[in-house]
Amino acid sequence: MIKLHPLTMIIFQFVLLSMILLYMHPLYIVSILCFILAVFCSIGKFEKAKSAIILGLYNGLLILIINPLVSQSGRTILYRTPKIPVFGRVKITMEAIAYGTNMGLKLICIFLLFVLYGMMTDRDETFSFFSKHAQKLTLTLSLTVNIIHRLKIELLRVKDVMVLRGVNFQAKKLNEKIKAYYPVLKVILISSLEGSLDRAEALHSRSYGIGKRTSYARVHIKAVDYLFNGISFLMAFLLVYGLTTGRGGYVFYPELEPFYAGDIRYLLIIDFVLATSLLVIWGNKKWKFLKYRT
């Protein structure tokens, strides 16, 4: 399975994210969504990404439902509700539904894009890369993850002890619940303060932050990373050129504009570049030279 350099994946995803945010044309957004789903299939992670896809669909559907109810713009009226107190008669237009659908697809693409980063990069390499260039941020994130996990274990342990002492955590009244959980929160707070002092002492004993950080493992750049960087810069050029020439835009209000041939031709060029990156991902399993390190 392909594992890209963290910086390579950051550049690639930044360009894709910019395309999702700046392009308004529905066909462009659908093409990017199909590309992301095709990447999941090519790396064999579609089953693992199903939960993320379902969650993204729920969020996108929420936008699709809310936007026609809130936005009253558009000339093609599909339905007009009876008079509602305060709001009056709400009209649902085709333009509002189309705009909500487009925004929902954008949200799904952005959501899946972050999931894709975790699947196409190695966690240890990502941690090593950021710890070298952003030490304080990496330390804060790692301590946060560790503390949350430890608090969960500590909470379960304290609750088990309190249950043995006869504390009822299943009480229905609010004041009884407060009396039951207050000692637990008190113990966890004291334990967290003691743990923070222990971590600070451990960091100080290892002279953390005094000198230059040492690295025990180097994150290598492979041939596939150079190919992806080239594809990313080509996509960035197409993005800038498209925005300056008016490609990728779309007007939803007051009426839906037609799909122009120029936009479709430009989309085919972008799809060709995306298909090339998909070919590189697939070829990483077959072509050994893509795995050579520099």
| Per-residue model confidence (pLDDT) at position 227 | 86
Is 188 inside any structural domain? yes
- φ, ψ of residue 171 in degrees (nearest 5): -65, 145
Work out the pLDDT band at 168, boundaries 50, 70, 90: confident
- Alpha helix locations (H) across the chain? 6-22, 26-42, 50-70, 94-120, 123-133, 135-164, 174-205, 223-244, 261-283
The reply to whether 211 falls in a domain is no
Residue 158 in this model has a pLDDT that exceeds 70? yes
Residues 139 and 117 in one domain: no
**Residue 87 pLDDT:** 67
> Which residue bears the tokens 């379960």?
156
Closest Cα partner for 16 from 261, 234, 255, 283? 234
Most confident stretch, 89-98, 106-115, 131-140: 106-115
Instruction: Indicate if 134 and 184 belong to the same structural domain.
Output: yes
- What is the domain range of residue 172? 129-205
Is 212 or 233 the better-scoring residue by pLDDT?
233
Instruction: State how many domains the chain has.
Output: 2
Looking at the fold, whether 238 and 266 belong to one and the same domain comes out as yes
HSE toward the beta carbon, residue 118, CA cutoff 13 A: 8
User: Which tokens in the block code for residue 284?
Assistant: 């990483």
Q: What is residue 114's predicted lDDT score, i.e. its pLDDT?
A: 86
Over residues 132-142, the pLDDT tens digits come to: 766 777 767 77
Distance CA 175, CA 186 (A): 17
The rounded distance, in Å, linking the Cα atoms of 15 and 3 is 19
pLDDT interval class at 217 (50, 70, 90): low
Residue 268 binned pLDDT confidence (cut-offs 50, 70, 90) = very high
Could you tell me which residues are beta bridge partners of residue 293?
222
Residues 228 and 191 in one domain: no
The DSSP 8-state label assigned to residue 49 in this structure reads T
Query: Rounded distance, CA 99 to CA 279, Å?
Result: 32
CA-to-CA separations, 174 to 34, 83, 168, 210, 240, in angstroms, rounded: 49, 41, 12, 50, 58
Task: Tell me how far apart the alpha carbons of residues 254 and 238 are, in angstroms, rounded to a whole number.
Answer: 29
* pLDDT classification of 272: cutoffs 50, 70, 90: very high
Identify whether 29 is part of a domain: yes
DSSP 8-state symbol, 287: -
Residues 194 and 72 in one domain: no
Closest CA to 35 of 272, 294, 292, 290: 272
**pLDDT at 289 > cutoff 60:** no
Mean predicted confidence (pLDDT) in 47-76 = 80
pLDDT above 70 covers a percentage of the chain that reads 87
Over residues 170-205, the pLDDT tens digits come to 777 778 778 777 888 888 888 777 777 777 777 777
Of 152 and 13, the structure prediction assigns the larger pLDDT to: 13
C-alpha 73/C-alpha 40 separation (Å) is 37
Residue 186 CA, chain-centre distance (Å), reads 35
> What are the tokens at 98?
């189309």
Say which range, 6-10, 42-46, 85-89, has the weakest mean pLDDT: 85-89
Task: Give yes or no: residues 137 and 33 share one domain.
Answer: no
Cis-peptide into 82, omega within 30 deg: no
Residues 6+ apart with CB under 8 A from 134: none
Predicted pLDDT at 45: 80
For residue 211, what pLDDT band results from cuts at 50, 70 and 90? low
Residues 23-52 have a mean pLDDT of 86
Residues 68 and 52 in one domain: yes
Q: Is residue 58 part of a domain?
A: yes
Scan for tokens 């274990």, then name that residue.
153
What pLDDT does 291 receive?
Answer: 56
Predicted confidence (pLDDT) at residue 294 exceeds the cutoff of 60? no
Residue 94 has pLDDT above 80, yes or no: yes
